[in-house]
Structure 1
Amino acid sequence: MQVDALDRVIKNAIDVMENSKYQVFEICESVRAEREALNNELQQVIEETTKTIDMVDRTESEYRRSRIRLTEVSRDFKRFNEEDIRAAYEAATQLQAQLAIYREKELHLKARRDDLQKRLKSVDKQLERAEGLVSQLNVVLEYLSGDLNQVTRLLESAKNRQLLGLKIILAQEEERKRIAREIHDGLAQNLANIVLRTEIAERMMMKQAFNAVKDELVDLKGQVRGGIEEVRKIIFNLRPMALDDLGLVPTLRKFIQDYEEKHKIRTRFEMAGKETRLPSGMEVAIFRLVQEAFSNVLKHAQASHVALEMTYQQQMVKITVTDNGVGFAADNIDRKITKGSHYGLIGMRERVELLEGRLDIQSDIGAGTKISMVIPIKSDAKEE
């Protein structure tokens, strides 16, 4: 009865959070629409400001020439009569009035541009907070929507739960450090260099060295593209978008292809059975298992070839990763894992156990390593 009561409470909480998630999602869409409108208006204001600045520059030049003309006409009474003087004076006065109007318009447009940029930053912050709230709600809903019996079993062992939580926290911290290093060494340096090159181009434009500015902008465009590629790599490492759109097998094919190109280690991928879409959480877990296995090969195996074999069966998925590296004494591996000296294998075994699967390791010194993982597929999971 207590479990049933807890189940009802969780279902009520899920209903409330689902409604809240959709409300926050509607807010996100509204903020996105506002951001798009502000951004379009900002681009128009920037274009109009640029045109107005050009008009100010041209009018200033014409006004200076008219002043010089007025001075010449006013001094030489022999060559110019009163009509010439009046015409020169009227032209200078008209240009002066136009210049004042253009300058006033320039100030107004710059103020409007600055205001739009501030509003755009504020909207970006609102959108970021709203998207973060949706993400948090999704995480909570994913936990609450899980199997209540599995939650009850986990609650029976507080000690194991605490140890698992600590290891998850350590893994998260290591991932944060890795991402911070990637951003600092790649994207942050790239952006700093882009800022510097932009300042150089700005100085060149002031000196009207347009050919040099053109070359500088070409280099700058290449650096921006490199920064975009770096961001895409970081995003893929965090969560491959293809996993949700295309499924597990195409994502794994792309992963091992990139792995081979980046690390110059020959790879092979073979699949047997009928490919079946699995629940999102299971596909993510299997992808991370393969990712960790290939990472271990790169760090420790000194291999020149690594193969991934994946077999879909009615009740399970079998994943095998084989390399031709230096290997190790497999008879001592369980003792080493127990002592905590193989953190990669620890994480893999814990992930497999959370999926109620089995992990086997075959290796010998000088004979390479073979890691086999069997993940059961429940009937209700396939229906999802």
Structure 2
Amino acid sequence: MWEKGQATAILVAVFTLVFLCLILVVLFVIFQKRKNTLVLKQKEIEKHFEQEIAKTQIEIREETFRNISWELHDNIGQLLTLAKIQLQNAADIEDVKATLNKGLTELRSLSRLINPEALKSMKLTEAITQEIERFNRLNFIEASIQVKGEEKRIDEKTEIVFFRIMQEFFSNTIKHAKASHLDVIVDYKHDELVIVAKDNGQGFDAENKNKIVGIGLENIKNRAELVNAEVSIFSKPDQGTQLTITYKY
């Protein structure tokens, strides 16, 4: 009788163990399925991100080409024309050399700031500072930059998107806003990066959606959303325009 009870206990223990093993197998299978689903979802998100980055890069490239055309015509082209006039008028050779050197300097500066590979090796503040210095050097506008906090390097693609956003804002300020001053603050806070760019130009009605689209600020918002950053734009007629980018680390 005791042996029969012992055998029954063993069978119960075996069945219980088998049952627990089956449960573990089922749970493992469910876990793996969920894990695979999450991995696929993550890959889809990454693929979508890369596609949007590529799309944005194409849009930025087109805008950059327009800016290059403007820079070559209104800046470097004028310097070369001046050098030609100096040569025709038999000016001092040193003056001609100075003009040509200035043109070469601006051409190299422009080349660095439109080259994605060059930007990858530069910090965000370094790239913005070079733009600010170029504006001041060419008397486009009186510009300044202030960096606050301990500088932190973020994802290079995100930094390039931020820099292109700033370039678009700068372009609007110089070509359309009729501003005399441009100020930039890059503030590295404990848990977020805040970039503020403000001009004292003619401003516009920020409530007018058509006007916002017309000067490219809608593109700025879309690009910021792509890297999970927030953008706010404040502007009123005759009160300038302020762009604020907020990015959580």
TM range (shorter): 0.5 to 0.7
Where structure 2 has 5 or more consecutive residues not aligned to the other structure, the ranges are 1-32
State whether structure 2 residue 200 is matched by structure 1 residue 297. Answer: no
1:232 aligns with 2:108: yes
Do structure 1's residue 374 and structure 2's residue 246 form an aligned pair? yes
Q: 1:281 aligns with which of 138, 152, 157?
A: 157
Note the 1:167-182 alignment, pairs <5 A.
Answer: 169-179=58-68
**Structure 1: distance between partners of 2:183 and 2:134:** 14
Shift of 1:353: 0.7
Q: Tell whether the 8 Å contact from 2:205 to 2:211 is kept in structure 1 after alignment.
A: no
Q: Which residue of 2 aligns with 1:89?
A: none
Distance 1:218 1:268 in 2: 31
Match of 1:56 in 2: none
Which digits, 9 at most, give the CA deviation of each residue in 1:6-37, with x for residues without a partner? 979xxxxxxxxxxxxxxxxxxxxxxxxxxxxx
- Residues 216, 313 of structure 1: alpha-carbon distance in 2 compared, 3 angstrom cutoff: closer
Compared CA separation, residues 170 and 257, structure 1 to 2 (3 A): closer
Deviation (angstroms), 1:321 = 1.0
1:346 pairs with one of 218, 221, 226: 218
SS of the equivalent of 1:302 reads coil
1:18-97, aligned counterparts within 5 Å? none
Post-superposition Cα deviations, 1:181-206, rounded to whole Å, max 9, x if no partner, equal 6568858x96xx99xx9xxxxxxxxx
Greater relative contact order: 1 or 2 (C-alpha under 8 angstroms, separation 6 or more)?
A: 2
Inter-CA distance 301–183: structure 2 relative to 1 (3 Å threshold): closer
The number of residues matched between the two structures is 206
Whether the 8 Å contact between 1:355 and 1:376 is mirrored in structure 2 is no
Which SS does the other structure have where 1:330 is aligned? coil
How far, CA to CA, are the matches of 1:224 and 1:367 in structure 2?
39
Q: Residues of 1 paired with 2:243 and 2:233: CA distance?
A: 5
Question: Which is richer in strand?
Answer: 2
Q: CA, structure 1 residues 322+174, in 2 after alignment: closer, same or farther (shift >3 Å)? A: closer
CA contact (8 A) 2:49 2:226 kept: no
Q: Distance between the aligned counterparts of 1:314 and 1:254, measured in 2?
A: 26
Identity of aligned residues (%): 27
What is the 5 A alignment of 1:139-158? Answer: 148-151=43-46
Using the alignment, how far apart are the partners of 2:169 and 2:62 within structure 1?
Answer: 20
Question: Amino acid of the residue matched to residue 347 of structure 1?
Answer: N
CA distance in 2, matches of 1:175, 1:151: 26
Partner SS, residue 182 of structure 2? strand
Measured after TM superposition, the shift of residue 150 of structure 1 is 2.2
Which structure's residues are more often helix, by fraction? 1
Q: 1:154 to 1:276 in 2, by over 3 A?
A: closer
Q: Name the CA shift for 1:237/1:244 in 2 (closer, same or farther; >3 Å).
A: closer
Letter in 2 for 1:372: T
Query: Which amino acid in 1 is paired with 2:43?
Result: L
| Other-structure match for 1:248 | 124
Q: Is the 8 A contact 2:229 2:247 kept in 1?
A: yes
Confirm or deny that 1:358 pairs with 2:247: no
For 1:249, give the aligned amino acid. Answer: T
Q: Does 1:324 align with 2:200?
A: yes
Superposition TM-score, scaled by structure 1 size: 0.44
Superposed CA RMSD in Å reads: 4.1
Equivalent AA in structure 1 for residue 46 of structure 2: V
Stretches of structure 1 that go unaligned for 5 or more consecutive residues are: 9-146, 198-214, 378-384
Q: For the residues of structure 1 that align with 2:63 and 2:119, how far apart are their CA atoms?
A: 23
Aligned-residue offset at 1:361: 1.2
Measure, in 2, the Cα distance between the counterparts of 1:367 and 1:280: 34
CA distance in 2, matches of 1:348, 1:354: 10
Partner AA of 1:353 in structure 2: E
Instruction: Give how far 1:238 is off.
Output: 1.0
Matched AA of 1:305: H
The 1:253/1:225 distance shift into structure 2, 3 A limit, reads closer
Partner residue of 1:211?
A: none
Aligned partner (choices 269, 274, 277) of residue 145 of structure 2 = 269
Question: What letter corresponds to residue 238 of structure 1 in structure 2?
Answer: I
Partners of 2:136 and 2:214 in 1: how far apart? 28
Please state whether the residue corresponding to 1:309 is helix, strand or coil. strand
**4+ runs deviating over 6 angstroms:** 5-8, 215-224
Quote the offset at 1:172 in angstroms. 2.8
Change in 2 beyond 3 A, CA 1:168/1:336:
farther
